[in-house]
């Protein structure tokens, strides 16, 4: 019995909570309210026969019992939602229109005296800030121009000294070339170094070039490193090489 009650309750719950059955019951009650009213509120003493016979004779029309409730249910479940969605869409449009009109009115609204004063103060502060930034930039540009002028002057004054350096160094380079030429071993070292420089090869790949030669040539600013173990001739080095091949 408990299982039967549970199953009946489950069926009734599904039927009553279903949109279709709920709407159908409501439609049937609206179309046949007289049957319910007669059953509950009218006694058999006021009618000529019992209630069931009276209902069958007077309220058993098929359209009222079946056709009209079904049509009403279909209308409520299909057509009414379209009208509801349309009304919701119109409501959204109307709310948007109200907001747009409010924004337009706010834009056209004149500022109060206090708001005008605040706005002027804000604009004034922004102008002062901009002017200050502009002055700082102009000062920076002036400082850079002064530094550039000083740099040009210092380079101009140092030119005579630079010209004198090669004249003094030529004698030292000539002495060094003569010293290397006196040793065939050092000449071979130097010639091998020339090949490494021309090929851009790492001098660490050979043990035939001494550290002493490399250090001496670097000290005289004849060669300089391009990378790890790779050397190239400087301007003095090119002059020195011409002395070596004489």
Question: And the tokens for 241?
Answer: 């090489």
Cα of 205 vs its chain's centroid, Å:
51
Residue 218 contacts residue 176 (beta carbons within 8 Å): no
Q: Which residue has the higher pLDDT, 121 or 14?
A: 121
Residue range 137-153: average pLDDT?
84
Query: Quick one: pLDDT at residue 197?
Result: 87
d(CA 200, CA 195): 8
Task: Name the residue ranges covered by the structural domains of the chain.
Answer: 2-80, 165-244
pLDDT over 70 at 154, yes or no? yes
d(CA 138, CA 159): 32
Q: What angle do the packed helices 113-181 and 235-244 form, to 10 degrees? A: 10
pLDDT one-digit tens code per residue, 177-234: 888 888 888 888 888 888 888 888 888 877 888 888 888 888 888 998 887 788 888 8
Question: And the tokens for 98?
Answer: 């109200």
Residue 197 contacts residue 233 (beta carbons within 8 Å): yes
- Confidence at 143, pLDDT banded by 50, 70, 90: confident
């Amino acid at each position: 019995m408990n299982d039967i009650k549970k199953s009946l309750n489950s069926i009734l719950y599904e039927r009553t909570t279903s949109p279709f059955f709920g709407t159908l019951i409501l439609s049937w009650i609206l179309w046949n309210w007289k049957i319910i009213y007669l059953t509950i509120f009218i006694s058999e003493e006021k009618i000529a026969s019992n209630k069931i016979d009276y209902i069958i004779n007077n309220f058993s029309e098929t359209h009222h019992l079946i056709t009209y409730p079904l049509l009403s249910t279909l209308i409520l479940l299909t057509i009414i939602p379209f009208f509801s969605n349309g009304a919701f869409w119109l409501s959204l449009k109307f709310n948007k229109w109200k907001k747009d009109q409010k924004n337009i009115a706010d834009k056209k609204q004149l500022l109060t005296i206090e708001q005008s004063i605040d706005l002027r103060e804000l604009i004034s502060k922004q102008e002062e800030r901009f002017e200050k930034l502009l002055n700082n930039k102009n000062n920076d540009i002036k400082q850079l121009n002064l530094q550039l002028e000083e740099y040009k002057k210092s380079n101009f004054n140092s030119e005579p000294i630079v010209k004198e350096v090669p004249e003094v160094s030529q004698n030292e380079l000539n002495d060094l070339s003569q010293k290397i030429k006196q040793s065939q071993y050092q000449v071979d070292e130097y010639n091998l170094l020339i090949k490494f420089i021309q090929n851009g090869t790492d001098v660490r790949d050979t043990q035939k070039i001494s550290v002493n030669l490399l250090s001496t040539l670097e000290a005289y600013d004849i060669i300089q490193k391009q990378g790890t173990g790779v050397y190239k001739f400087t301007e003095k080095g090119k002059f020195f090489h011409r002395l070596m091949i004489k």
